[in-house]
Amino acid sequence: MNISRGFSFAFNFDKLKSMTITLEEVKNYWGKKNIPQQWYSKKEPFTLQWFNELAFKRYDRYYPHIKKWAEFEYHPGEEVLEVGVGIGTDLVEYAKRGAVVSGTDLGKDQVMLTKLNFDLHNLPYKEIKEGNVENLPFPDNSFDVVLCVGVIHHTPNTQKAVNEIYRVLKPDGEALVLVYARGWKHYIKRCLIHGLLLGKWAKRGFDWKKVYSEVSEVHGGAPKTDVYTKSQVKRFFNKFGDVEIQKKRLGEFFEYRPYNTVKLPNFVQNIFFLLGLEGILGENWMIRAVKRPFPKEAKFWEVWFKHY
């Protein structure tokens, strides 16, 4: 096998072969054992203590960057929608701080777990129901904030999903969306180790998308998992007025011990942060997209010579 040729395929998304999947396949996969976060805790499942530990592990260990980015404390009284609620961890955080929350997910298991999470915390919600991101069951211009974490890279038509998020936002609304990025884990684990050294690229008909889908989730074998470049993300969100995109999360070995194995010393992570390497090697794109464009209030030279 020509390894350099293999990497040229890994780096060029446009040459990847397409995979035809359905929303029903995605729905069937993401129920039951594949609902994210539930493996964070060994406590009695479906209890208040279980939900609380899942939240602690999510924000303290596995995804500490989400807490600030999601702006939980800044939207009291506003209409907030989460697309892909999972077990409801993020939506509960908005509700704790007074937001008027709604949520949707593909499966009844996720809806049931999220409602249970709210009931155990004695928190109100407006509506939580089944639905899919490519055809959201809400009217136009309904929400101040739409949160969507780790969803649209799994749905068959990512662009249609982004368009739906845009549709349900109010004119001044903002979307907070997380998708997979091509960081160190992508190139070393997905492409080099699994794709080339373990031969999965060849076994899957030299189709990198099939490799990504097979090896990216905890239990593997997802119907679809895409991993995007920044230019792709920009194209998805080109209808929005203002878009901020940051690459975050060094993830396993740096921030936590994967499968209770090894974590690098903190100084290693601190060096990476100091050198700005998270912005190159991180595995998540954190997107903040505002629906209405905000014009510049001054020219660059005016900031220096005219304004105080």
- Taking each helix axis as running N to C, give the angle between helix 48-57 and helix 108-120, from 0 to 180 degrees, rounded to the nearest 10: 100
pLDDT at 189 over 70: yes
pLDDT at site 122: 98
- Tell me the two tokens of residue 119: 């009931």
Mean of per-residue pLDDT scores for the chain: 92
Residue 7 has pLDDT above 60, yes or no: no
Residue 159 pLDDT class (50, 70, 90 cuts):
very high
> In the structure, what pLDDT confidence band is assigned to residue 306 with cuts at 50, 70 and 90?
confident
Confidence of residue 165 (pLDDT cuts 50, 70, 90): very high
Is pLDDT larger for residue 305 or for residue 281?
Answer: 281
Please indicate whether residue 38 or residue 294 has the higher confidence score (pLDDT).
38
The pLDDT, as a whole number, for residue 14 is 39
Number of domains in the chain: 1
Number of residues assigned to the chain: 308
- Confidence check: pLDDT of 8 > 70: no
Tell me the C-alpha distance between 256 and 205, whole Å.
34
Enumerate residues 6+ apart whose C-beta is below 8 A from 276.
none
pLDDT confidence of residue 290: 97
d(CA 266, CA 287): 27
Which domain, by its residues, includes 297? Answer: 3-305
E-strand spans in the chain?
Answer: 79-83, 100-105, 127-130, 143-149, 169-180, 242-248, 284-290
Check pLDDT > 70 for residue 64.
yes
Give me the pLDDT at residue 298, please: 75
Mean pLDDT value across residues 12-18: 40
Report the CATH number that the domain containing residue 215 is assigned in CATH.
Answer: 3.40.50.150
Question: Whole-structure pTM over 0.85, yes or no?
Answer: yes
In the predicted structure, residue 276 carries a pLDDT above the cut 80: yes
Which pLDDT does position 300 carry in this prediction? Answer: 76
Determine phi and psi for 2, rounding to 5 degrees: -85, 105
**pLDDT tens-digit profile of 226-258?**
999 999 999 999 999 999 999 999 999 999 999
Which tokens in the block code for residue 62?
Answer: 């596995």
pLDDT in tens, 281-292: 999 999 999 998
Mean pLDDT, to the nearest integer, of 148-172? 97
